[in-house]
Amino acid sequence: QKEVEQNSGPLSVPEGAIASLNCTYSDRGSQSFFWYRQYSGKSPELIMFIYSNGDKEDGRFTAQLNKASQYVSLLIRDSQPSDSATYLCAVRGTDKLIFGTGTRLQVFP
């Protein structure tokens, strides 16, 4: 079992819709969770982090964490074509981040 799992996608949503990206992790003791956006050929960009159970909102992005079920999700409201990218989930390991393989999101006009 991989430490951080994501559906590779692609997830296709129409412009203006809500995109929901999910991630599960295996280490029940994990404390910190991160979402990175990566455009094709570019490096990952940190867009959200969440440390406590519940929701955290930042603009059009909402991160949701459920430690009991060991999943973290990212919601993107009012999706735009410019949101089309790969979204990487990362979990804090011992002094490093452990990444999933990413979910490719496609937002079509």
Chain residues that interact with another protein, rule: CB under 8 A: 4, 8, 32, 34, 36, 42-46, 49, 88, 90, 92-102
Of 14 and 99, which CB lies nearer to another protein in the complex structure? 99
Q: Output the CA–CA distances (angstroms, integers) from residue 62 to 12, 29, 79, 86, in the order listed.
A: 18, 23, 12, 17
Instruction: Confirm if 107 and 14 have CB atoms less than 8 A apart.
Output: yes
CB of 72 to another protein, least distance (A): 14
CB of 21 to another protein, least distance (A): 14
Of 43 and 109, which CB lies nearer to another protein in the complex structure? 43
Of 6, 83, 7, give the one whose Cα is nearest residue 45: 83
Of 72 and 88, which CB lies nearer to another protein in the complex structure? 88
* Dist CA 105 CA 19 (whole Å): 8
Instruction: Confirm if 39 and 85 have CB atoms less than 8 A apart.
Output: yes
Of 15 and 27, which CB lies nearer to another protein in the complex structure? 27
CB of 83 to another protein, least distance (A): 19
